[in-house]
């Protein structure tokens, strides 16, 4: 479908493009971006999605036991009362199918599918410098042009499987958790291996263990601090109460550091005895959910608080596991709780009390290779019918880096991010005009209840595009100086925390040869949101806005960034 200039509301275009905007991905981010740009601004928008349906991460992660760790009443869009009111909440924590059904419902309700091309992966995106637009190539051999390119590719969408020797030799069933087949997989009487004990591995393990396998072997490298979820079906009274307060709850969630509607109860546990800490944590442990992490304000900054909370959870793990040697292996001692994404459990630890469930510590006995019939560790061969790789993701940057993105002056994203991601506000990049990254690197994204920052980003992008149309601008690109200032500000926020003390996908340490830099904005969703709103209010401070590609990069000195604190801007020299 060719978009004519007359049809387009972005009427300043020098040349015709197929669409005003291309949105990559049809998960929470892509669906809202498509709706907002198409139905609010009136742009012609094309959605492109690799899967054969909407859902994003909730489409792909259909493994047994997949369930959201955020409560159903906050893991949702807040932008439409109607959508919320028409949707019934089933459980305290929605299962994968419930979140997926909700996104399908939203797509139907807003009539989004007609503008999404499913079963199509974006392989490359090149900025056409002559005409000032993006040309997007797909694995269906198409090239589609648009003035704006919006990525809604998600931070956890590029699966990572370690490069084990012999991985293709295995003759049984094997899959990565995020590529689970649509058909039912039976575990009864099977010998099953699960590699990985992150949030995903824990959910799969507790499900497989209860599905009558002959044997379940859990291959663990690093134990995790899992806290209870305490899921249950919501009864009518609970749902009615949530409904009565949901506006307020969501409003609150949009104004906290975490994107959750919870306040911290105490500043610190530094001066408290372990008994006092236990008294505070015990009711939160019983309540379940991420509220547990809001007992102390400085959990992620103060080693003393972190150690006390970690010790509480270590004791709780020990209480649930009968065999002392197994408990020893399941108890983390090499990092503090909360320094990587905390998993939640339903009945994970008690599965290890079953005869048919065993734990293999791969730090003691590393995996040497995968064979036709199982896994060879340094001490023995383990025979399996099934191997499940719950080995995580090339997080935050993986999905974008997989697309061959080329900006101005032939600069590729691969080159730009060779030393780790660089961006302005986690939303945009110098050298890549009119490209917006929803919950991109250096934004709070994975450190929070993600639908919240997704909405903030989509609304910010929508307003920026409207502003450009009103002001007669065709191109928007952050200055190098603004990008550098944002990088410094990011590092400073991360340095205040304990995140860098632990290997994690936040730092890229889970993927060999990935630059090890902290990739997320640690200053909090609320502060971050204030900053991006202030940037917009100040006429998109730090961005160059222009009507012609020839003018880009020629606007002379860019003013100081007043929205970031003095120390950040001071250290960016004027010739940057």
Q: Which residues bind ligand NAP (CB under 6 A)?
A: 67-69, 156, 162, 177, 195-201, 203, 219, 221-222, 341, 362, 367, 390-393, 446, 505, 510
* CB closer to ligand NAP, 3 vs 224: 224
Residues 155, 398: Cα–Cα separation, whole Å = 8
For the bound state, the minimum distance from the C-beta of residue 380 to ligand NAP, rounded and expressed in Å, comes to 17
- Whole-angstrom CA distances from 433 to 3, 391, 419, 430 are 21, 35, 21, 7
* CB closer to ligand NAP, 305 vs 510: 510
* CB closer to ligand NAP, 127 vs 260: 260
* CB closer to ligand NAP, 345 vs 417: 345
Helical pair 303-320 and 274-287, crossing angle rounded to 10 deg: 60
Measured torsion, CA atoms of residues 537, 540, 542, 546, in degrees rounded to the nearest 10: -160
Residues 574, 572: Cα–Cα separation, whole Å = 6
Residue pair 100/59 in contact (Cβ under 8 Å)? The answer is: yes
For the bound state, the minimum distance from the C-beta of residue 244 to ligand NAP, rounded and expressed in Å, comes to 26
* CB closer to ligand NAP, 200 vs 497: 200
Alpha-helical runs (H) found in 426-524: 451-471, 480-495
For the bound state, the minimum distance from the C-beta of residue 439 to ligand NAP, rounded and expressed in Å, comes to 12
For the bound state, the minimum distance from the C-beta of residue 389 to ligand NAP, rounded and expressed in Å, comes to 8
Task: Name the closest residue to ligand NAP (Cβ).
Answer: 198
Q: Using DSSP, state whether 46 is helix, strand or coil.
A: strand
Q: Around 551, how many Cα atoms within 13 Å sit in the side-chain half-sphere? A: 10
Give me 226's structure tokens: 């899992």
* CB closer to ligand NAP, 113 vs 365: 365
Give me 110's structure tokens: 């807003």
Q: Using DSSP, state whether 119 is helix, strand or coil.
A: coil
For the bound state, the minimum distance from the C-beta of residue 178 to ligand NAP, rounded and expressed in Å, comes to 7
* CB closer to ligand NAP, 451 vs 542: 451
For the bound state, the minimum distance from the C-beta of residue 341 to ligand NAP, rounded and expressed in Å, comes to 3
DSSP state, residue 2: P
For the bound state, the minimum distance from the C-beta of residue 62 to ligand NAP, rounded and expressed in Å, comes to 12
Phi-psi category of residue 119: left, alpha or beta, with phi > 0 → left and psi -120 to 50 → alpha: left
CB neighbourhood size of 63 (10 A): 23
Helical pair 28-35 and 451-471, crossing angle rounded to 10 deg: 30
* CB closer to ligand NAP, 40 vs 401: 401
For the bound state, the minimum distance from the C-beta of residue 97 to ligand NAP, rounded and expressed in Å, comes to 13
């Amino acid at each position: 479908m060719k978009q004519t200039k007359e049809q387009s509301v972005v009427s300043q275009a020098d040349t015709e493009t197929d669409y005003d905007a291309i949105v990559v991905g049809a998960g929470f981010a892509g669906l809202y971006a498509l709706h907002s740009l198409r139905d609010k601004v009136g742009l012609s928008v094309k959605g492109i999605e690799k899967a054969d349906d909407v859902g994003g991460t909730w489409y792909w992660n259909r493994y047994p036991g997949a369930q959201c760790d955020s409560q159903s009443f906050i893991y949702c869009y807040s932008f439409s009362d109607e959508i919320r009111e028409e949707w019934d909440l089933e459980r305290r924590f929605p299962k994968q199918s419930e979140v997926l059904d909700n996104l399908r419902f939203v797509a139907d309700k807003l009539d989004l599918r007609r503008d999404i091309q499913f079963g199509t992966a974006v392989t490359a995106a090149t900025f056409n410098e002559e005409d000032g637009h993006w040309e997007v190539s797909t694995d269906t051999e198409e090239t589609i042009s648009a003035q704006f390119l919006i990525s809604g590719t998600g931070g956890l969408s590029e699966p990572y499987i370690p490069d084990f020797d012999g991985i293709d030799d295995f003759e049984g069933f094997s899959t990565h958790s995020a590529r689970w087949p649509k058909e039912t997989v039976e575990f009864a009487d099977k010998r099953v291996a699960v590699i990985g004990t992150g949030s995903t591995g824990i959910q799969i393990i507790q499900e497989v263990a209860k599905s009558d396998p002959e044997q379940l072997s859990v291959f663990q490298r690093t134990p995790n601090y899992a806290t209870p979820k305490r899921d249950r079906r919501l009864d009518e009274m609970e749902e009615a109460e949530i409904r009565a307060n949901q506006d307020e709850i969501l409003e609150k969630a949009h104004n906290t550091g975490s994107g959750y509607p919870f306040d911290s109860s105490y500043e610190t546990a530094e001066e408290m005895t372990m008994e006092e800490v236990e008294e505070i944590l015990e009711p939160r442990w019983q309540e379940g959910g991420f509220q547990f992490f809001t007992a102390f304000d400085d959990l992620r900054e103060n080693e003393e608080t972190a150690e006390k909370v970690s010790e509480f959870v270590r004791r709780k793990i020990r209480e649930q596991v009968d065999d002392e040697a197994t408990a020893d292996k399941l108890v983390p001692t090499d990092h503090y709780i909360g320094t990587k994404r905390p998993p939640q459990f339903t009945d994970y630890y008690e599965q290890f009390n079953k005869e048919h469930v065993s734990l293999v510590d791969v730090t003691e006995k590393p995996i040497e290779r995968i064979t036709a019939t199982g896994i060879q560790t340094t001490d023995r061969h383990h025979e399996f019918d099934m191997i499940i790789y719950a080995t995580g993701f090339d997080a935050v940057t993986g999905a974008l880096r997989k697309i061959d993105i080329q900006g101005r002056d032939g600069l590729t994203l691969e080159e730009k991010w060779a030393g780790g991601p660089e961006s302005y506000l986690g939303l945009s990049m110098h050298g890549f005009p009119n490209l917006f990254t929803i919950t991109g690197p250096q934004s709070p994204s994975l450190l929070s209840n993600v639908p919240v920052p997704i909405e903030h980003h989509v609304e910010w992008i929508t307003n920026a595009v409207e502003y450009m149309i009103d002001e007669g601008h065709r191109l928007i690109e952050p200055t190098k100086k603004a990008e550098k200032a944002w990088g410094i500000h990011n590092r400073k926020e991360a340095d205040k925390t304990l995140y860098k003390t632990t290997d994690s996908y936040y730092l890229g340490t889970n993927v060999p040869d990935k630059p090890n830099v902290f990739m997320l904005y640690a200053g909090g969703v609320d502060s971050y949101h204030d900053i991006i709103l202030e940037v917009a209010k100040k006429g998109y401070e730090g961005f160059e806005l222009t009507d012609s590609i020839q003018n880009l990069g020629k606007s002379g000195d860019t003013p100081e960034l007043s929205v970031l604190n003095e120390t950040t801007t001071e250290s960016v020299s004027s010739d940057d």
